[in-house]
Amino acid sequence: MIDLRIAAVGDIHLGEDVRGQYRRKLEGIEDRADVFMLAGDLTRHGTLEEGRVVADELRGLSIPVVAVLGNHDYHSDLQYEIAAELRDAGVIVLDDDGVVIQCGDKKLGVVGGKGFGGGYAGKCASEFGEREIKNFVSHTRYIAEAWKVALKEIVADHRVVLSHYSPIKETLEGEPPEIYPFLGSYLLAEAVDTAGADLILHGHAHKGSEKGMTPGGIRVRNVALPVLGRAYSVYCLNCEDEFHSHDSQRQAG
């Protein structure tokens, strides 16, 4: 049995005043994990200067680094420029698409993007009424559909979804329920449950809880740094042969 080890964190919120500090905490990550994933909110205000700090902190790590952006990274309308800085530093930035990473003899598929809000089944916004509300909900619906398609297309031994917003309520526990609709949407979970995946990682909810699962039984981890209380956590996917065949069948279905 060989584990596929995923180091993950979100909401690192870096800025010039903490330059170099986070990088120091990444020492030895290549011995602990096969891939490093960042679940958005890498900056505080979404400025290009902050984006460059993040890029410098992540540059030259000897394991693949996959990231999505978060709402803070969109604040200055420079999300594409920040993503370009990160890509120049060797980071794979997902924007409602997917990538396959070779980890040893295993292929790891990662699908994701920022995600968006709307709320959870039974207590959520719907595409009805004012144009502004319809735009809000249809944005999440568009993202969920893109993830579903990307997951179905990817051919890999394991599939992980990387998001900023949460697909489930469970990992929001600790946040005020009144703001749940701004923290995520069940549409994201529904899409991933339909297409299948081994794990969903998200951030955004600083006061939430680490562990939960989708209605379909896919494990969800809120890796927001304030939730973890550490530089990152490591999740190991079991690569037993039995698990493989199950996964392949599900993908084929």
Partner 1 sequence: MEAPQYVVARVQQALAEDGRTHELGIRVDIRGDQLFLRGQVSGAEQRERLGQVAHETAPELHVHNEIKVVDAGAPGEDEHLD
The window from 105-113, 129-137, 142-150, 230-238 that contacts partner 1 (CB under 8 A) reads 230-238
- By CB under 8 A, is residue 65 in contact with partner 1? no
- By CB under 8 A, is residue 141 in contact with partner 1? no
Q: Is 19 exposed, middle or buried (0-12, 13-18, 19+ CB in 10 A)?
A: middle
- By CB under 8 A, is residue 82 in contact with partner 1? no
Q: Which is nearer to partner 1, 13 or 52 (CB)?
A: 13
CB atoms within 10 A of CB 144: 24
Least CB distance to partner 1 at residue 102 (A): 20
The window from 18-26, 138-146, 163-171, 187-195 that contacts partner 1 (CB under 8 A) reads 18-26
Q: Of 216, 96, 189, 200, which is closest to residue 158 (Cα–Cα)?
A: 200
Q: Of 74, 19, 69, which is closest to residue 45 (Cα–Cα)?
A: 74
Distance CA 120, CA 183 (A): 10
Residue of the chain from 126, 135, 238, 249 that contacts partner 1 (CB under 8 A): 238
Contact 44, 77 (CB under 8 A): no
The residues that touch partner 1, with contacts defined as CB under 8 A, are 3, 5, 7, 12-13, 15, 17-18, 22, 25, 32, 44-45, 72, 75, 198-199, 206-207, 219, 221, 225-226, 228-238, 240, 243
